[in-house]
Structure 1
Amino acid sequence: MLTMVEMNVRIPLDFDKEEAERLKASEKERFQELQRAGKWRHIWRVAGHYANVSIFDVVSNAELHDVLTSLPLYPFMEMKVTPLCRHPSSIHNDDR
């Protein structure tokens, strides 16, 4: 099940800088783990923002919820989740 997730990260300006850097490093580690597992298939940065558009490949909405809430920066994120399905005109076989 492919899902597009638009993420905006909003760390408060008065948040502890060292803790923010620790969380960002943990976020990168978790992101790369999910990429290697095939769960986080694509990520694009939104130019000029601390935001991204990502494509997840999960078996259920419950798995997507578990993946998203496992992100270290989750408490600071605003997300928009959009389910996707294969377009009948696509020539690619891996976009189920």
Structure 2
Amino acid sequence: MNVREITVKYLKHMRYDGLYNHDGGCGCILADLAPCCECHVLDCRPGYRVDTPDDPEGFDYHIVESLERWRAQKERGRAEQEDPAPRSLRSPWTANG
């Protein structure tokens, strides 16, 4: 068993969908771990896949640390669209929240 196999086995067992690297700005799913081989894999963290069909950068999904936090931030974003706050009061969404 190699490091990749050990990692995939652990992530599946813990019900994670993939890895993300907050500093590197990347994420990958279990079926395609570290496809670009350019990120610092040792700094990656386990996360959950969320589909993002309306992503402005064209990404089909993101890997996030917490589904609950992502959903809450998404709801806050919808509320801002209905009643936008001044731009200086908004905080950008990040994987770590």
Higher relative contact order (CA 8 A, sep 6+): 1
Tell me the TM-score normalized by structure 1. Answer: 0.30
Bigger strand share? 1
Larger Rg belongs to: 2
